[in-house]
Amino acid sequence: MEIVRNADGTLVVPVQPERQHEIDGGTDPAATSSDGEAAPRQTAPSQPAETRLLHPGEGGYDEALAEWDRQQNPDREPVVSTASGRQEAMTLVHAVATSPDHAVEPALEALDDPEASGEALRHVLVGGVHSVEDFATEVAEAEGGEPLTAHETTKIIGEVLTELD
């Protein structure tokens, strides 16, 4: 099952049910065959994966968003962040965050290299929540203002990556 990204930024992620362990010896003492021998323990058939809804800023969200992005383009080369791409990514995140309607498309159109910015943002996500927090601090230092929360930053990154794809 693939990760699904909803329009509100939430992610539906698969969660495997807990494994069932066999009783020592591999037999079920409560079950016997017609000749009195202990019968092999029956295990439940594999169940389909359950799902969980993750919101931006919630534990595991950044990693799930990075995985969702990989699923969108499985043949993409490994993520590489360049200095110019990271600078444009900071400008992009700041522009979206300060836009009254959080408009992504006009902010992307203003960039010289939106693809490099996307790669830089993917690189931030791969680093996990601390990477997102550090990036938010860098954005505030470079562009001015208070740092965005990890939740806000991750949500903007998700919106940008969706627009780029």
Q: Tell me, yes or no, whether 11 lies in a domain.
A: no
- Residue 86 in contact with residue 121, Cβ under 8 Å? no
- Cβ atoms of 70 and 76 closer than 8 Å: yes
The pLDDT value recorded for residue 34 is: 55
| Contacts (Cβ under 8 Å, ≥6 apart) of 122 | 66, 69, 79, 161
Q: Within a domain: residue 52?
A: no
- The candidate with the shortest Cα–Cα distance to 36, out of 46, 27, 45, is 27
Predicted structure pTM score: 0.65
- Within-domain flag for 69: yes
* pLDDT exceeds 70 at position 36: no
Instruction: Please compute the mean of the pLDDT values over residues 62-87 and round it to a whole number.
Output: 83
- Establish if 23 belongs to a structural domain: no
- Say whether pLDDT at 124 is over 50: yes
Q: Which pLDDT belongs to residue 93?
A: 93
Q: What is the domain range of residue 87? A: 61-164
Which tens digit of pLDDT belongs to each residue from 41-72? 544 445 556 889 988 878 888 888 888 888 88
Average pLDDT rounded to a whole number, residues 26-31: 53
Confidence of residue 21 (pLDDT cuts 50, 70, 90): low
Cβ-based neighbour number of residue 119 at 10 Å: 22
Contact yes or no for 24/61 (Cβ under 8 A): no
For the chain, how many structural domains are there in total?
Answer: 1
